[in-house]
Structure formats: C-alpha cells, structure tokens
Chains A and B, each alone.
Chain A
Amino acid sequence: MKRKRIYIFIFSLSTINFIVGQEIQNEEIDSLDVKEKFINIDKLSIGVDLYKPIYSSTNNDDLSYELITSLRIFKDFSIAAEIGSLDKYIEDENVNFTSTGEYIKFGFDYNLFNNWSGMDNSIYLGMRFATSSFNNKIENYTVRNPDSYWSNNVLNGFETINHSNQNANWFEFLVGIKVETIKNIYFGISLRLNRLISNSSPNNFTNLYIPGFNKVTDDNSWGSGFNYTLTYSLPLKFNKKAPIK
C-alpha cells in the first residue's frame, strides 16, 4: 500500500515535468533558444550498484542488488531513485540473524561541478526519502550468562524466530562523484548519511539492521551507507522543430 503511493508520487513528478515542458513548447520560441530553457529534460541515467551483488555472492547470501535511475530536469538538478533488494547474514555481537527485504529511495541530486565544454562529470549533493519493508530472522544467539557450565548458545527454538513484516522510513543526505569513463558510461561512488524517522519494533527484539539503511545502533537514529555505481546515460533528444505556422 505504502509502496504503491510511492510509485504514484514518482510518476506524478515525471508527469508534472512533462506538462510544464509541453507548455513551453507551445510558446513560439526559435529553435536556437532551446538550450536556454529553464526546464531541460535532456538525460536519463540507469545503472546498478556494483558492491551489493559482489558482496552477497561472496558471502553465500541470496543475490542482493540495487537499481539506480535519475532524470536530469534542470541544468544541474536531477530527480533520482534507487530500488534495491537485499539478503544478508549478519554476525552481530550476541545475535546472528538474516536480514531480507526491499527498499526504495527517491529524491534529487544537485551537481556542484563546473565541467569544461564537452565533459560531463559531476560532484553532487543529494537527498532521498527512503522506505523499506523487511524481515529479520534470528538464526542463533548467545544467552548472556555469567556461568558457562552449560552451553549458552541457542541454535533453535526459543527466540530463533522470523520477525516479519517490519517497516522503516528514513532520510538520506549524500555526496557523490560520477565520472564518464567511456562515452555515456559512468563510474561513481556516493556516501550516505541516514537519519531514521521510524522503525517498527518487533516483540522481544529490535531491528539491528534495515536493508538500505544498514546497521542501526542503540539510542542513535543516524546510520551510514555507500554505493559504487555503474550507470549508462541515455541522451534524450527532443525533436524541436520550427514553430507551426
């Protein structure tokens, strides 16, 4: 339900831009002035995170991935979104658990880098709103006990249960770079600072990890993350012909 609303929101963003673009097009502007327009949808980027699939396959987890997309709508301003799916076995201090789930992040990137003519690299700041729906399944844990005559490891039964249908929302503040290495193909990295807004609290456990947000620390709503990106940019060339007579 929540996710459907998010999709609608993203879709509505793109339609608004489309409508605005149409209005401008209807005005009688010389075709040479096209580049001067304020709203200028000229580039669609699609890509993947390189780190998550490699990490998940080297750690015998199910495939984790993150798809990245952005649409440049002003000269230095793009709307951006990431959709990801994650499966990760986490060995924590006392509890080992598997975190699985999906997340979606959407927001914007703002480029700070002044390119030379013909180049298209960027150093950008951005912000995202993110939401995740996930499960944390406790695989095994150690009972805190000053006496170790009996084993305190719990391998099954008791609290080794799957805490399913968990939800969390957060904001991300990010800084990143993107470099065009081959024509239209970009490598990049972004560092993210996450501020948790809400996190569901399962019965007799807390969500120590949220897919997309990463590690959650006690009494602290800040987290961090990063991604290595490989993106392909699709130049959007609109056929702007001379005004209709």
Chain B
Amino acid sequence: MFIRSYKFFLLFFLITSCEKDDICLQGSANTNRITIEFINSEFETTSSLSLNNIRGINKDSIIYEDINTDKLRLPLNASSNRTDYILNYNEIDDTLSIKYKAIHQYLNRGCGFISNFIIDNSTENLVNSSGWIKKISIVKDSIFNEEKTNLYIHF
C-alpha cells in the first residue's frame, strides 16, 4: 500500500515537472518606430519626398538607400535618449536629431521589455543654414503605435 503510493508520487513528479514554455505570442505589443511626414512650406501641404542614403550617425550601414515616401518610419535607439539620422535630399545632407525619453515596459518572460518613447521638444535639425530642412514640428509626442504621425519636417 505504501509502496504503491510512493510510486504514484514519483509518477506525479515526472508528469508535473515538465514546464510550459514561455513564448512571446504573435501580436504582442512591440517597440514602434517614429513616423515622419513632410510638409512643403511653399504650399503648406503634406507631400511625398525622395530621400537618399538615410543612415544613423555613428553607424556604417545605410537604413534606406533610396526611398520615396509620404510617411517615413525610422527606428529609434532604445538604449539611448537620442537618435541622429543623416537625410540626403537633392544631394544636400541634413541631420535630424531626435531627442526623447525611452520608457521600457515589461510584458512577460517570453516577450521581455518593449520600449515606448516620448519625444522631447528639443528635437531639431542640426544643419540650420545650409540644410534642406526648414523647420521641425512635433504633432504627437508619444510613440505607442505606428499609425499616427509624430513629426512634420518642413522643407
């Protein structure tokens, strides 16, 4: 009787000691990119723009070589509070310096942390006089999805 019960317990241990895998489900919240639109300052309307050689400062690789878009989405550096991009338009370079607060939000074991961003007012274009960017305006400072436009670049 006793022997039988301890065998039962051993079996119980073997069955229950298998752990469920903690996987991050598809469709879980994720880190989002900043969404940028362009405003032609002559007509004050949004328009698409053709940009070349978009790359981050201190990065060797180019993120977009040649892009023609009305909504540009750029990843932000989640382990920093500032991300700088060089944008080339009509053979003229300008630097977009995005400053923000990265807020890391814990989801669960499988997904870990994601990053949300709050864009700071001091976001600017660094090459003022010779650059092609005339002005930058923030329309939505929080990045929690990629649907809404966060930034307007006036050119």
Contacts and interface: CB of A to CB of B under 8 A. Distances in A.
Interface string B111-127: 11111000000000000
Interface string B9-42: 1101100110110101000101101000000000
Interface string B24-65: 100010110100000000000000000000001001010100
Interface residues of B, number: 42
Interface residues of A, number: 38
A147 B9 contact: no
Main secondary structure of the interface of A (DSSP, over half): loop
A141 B9 contact: no
A208 B77 contact: no
A141 B6 contact: no
Interface string A187-216: 000010100000000001110100000010
Contacts of B78: 143, 145, 150, 152, 154
17 contacts: A93-B109, A95-B109, A125-B9, A149-B61, A150-B76, A150-B83, A151-B77, A151-B79, A152-B78, A155-B79, A158-B79, A193-B16, A204-B104, A204-B105, A217-B22, A218-B110, A224-B19
Interface of B: 2-3, 5-6, 9-10, 12-13, 16-17, 19-20, 22, 24, 28, 30-31, 33, 56, 59, 61, 63, 75-80, 83, 102, 104-115
